[in-house]
Every structure is written in C-alpha cells, then in structure tokens.
Amino acid sequence: MESTHRKNEIVIARWQGDGGAPDNLGKLYQYGRRVEGDGSWTIYHVFTGVPAHIDSWTMTGLDQQLASDVLHILNRPLQI
C-alpha cells in the first residue's frame, strides 16, 4: 500500500509541475472532498459528483492529509 501511495504522490507532483488543474476561466473550487463510510476520503467534481482523476489514478481511498493536499492542488488557480 505504501508504494502505491508513493507512486501516486510522484504522479501528483509531476502533474502539479505541469500546471495543475486546467481552468481557463480562473474559477476556483471545482472539486470537493468527502469522507466515505470506511473512513477513507474521495476528491470529487462538485458539479457532477464524479471522483476526480489524475492520469489513471482515481481520487478515492485517500487518507485525510493526502485528500487535503490533492484538493489544494486541484482547486488552485491556473498560473500563467
């Protein structure tokens, strides 16, 4: 499990380095987080309710700290 999370952290870091969430309109808060019945966290698109994706990684089964970090990355404004 630890190696999977490390791999996912690398994917997030690479994705963040490429500019993060595309948001041409400069709108914030496209994503939210929720705690699931098993205590894990999910990052989801607030308008559709669908779990977010970074590459092939679906943002489900996260711990609280990782969910917070991912949410911050996904909702940050696009820097030009």
Q: What is each CA distance from 43 to 2, 56, 78, 80, in whole angstroms?
A: 19, 14, 19, 25
Q: How confident is the model at residue 19 (pLDDT cuts 50, 70, 90)?
A: very low
Residue-wise pLDDT tens digits, 26-75? 555 788 899 999 999 999 988 888 999 988 999 999 999 999 899 988 88
Q: Which of 1-10, 12-21, 24-33, 67-76 has the highest average model confidence (pLDDT)? A: 67-76
Q: Which tokens go with 70? A: 């991912």
- 52/29 Cα distance (integer angstroms): 13
Within 13 Å of residue 16, how many CA atoms lie on the same side as its CB? 14
Coil, strand or helix: which one is 58?
Answer: strand
Residues 6+ apart with CB under 8 A from 69: 12
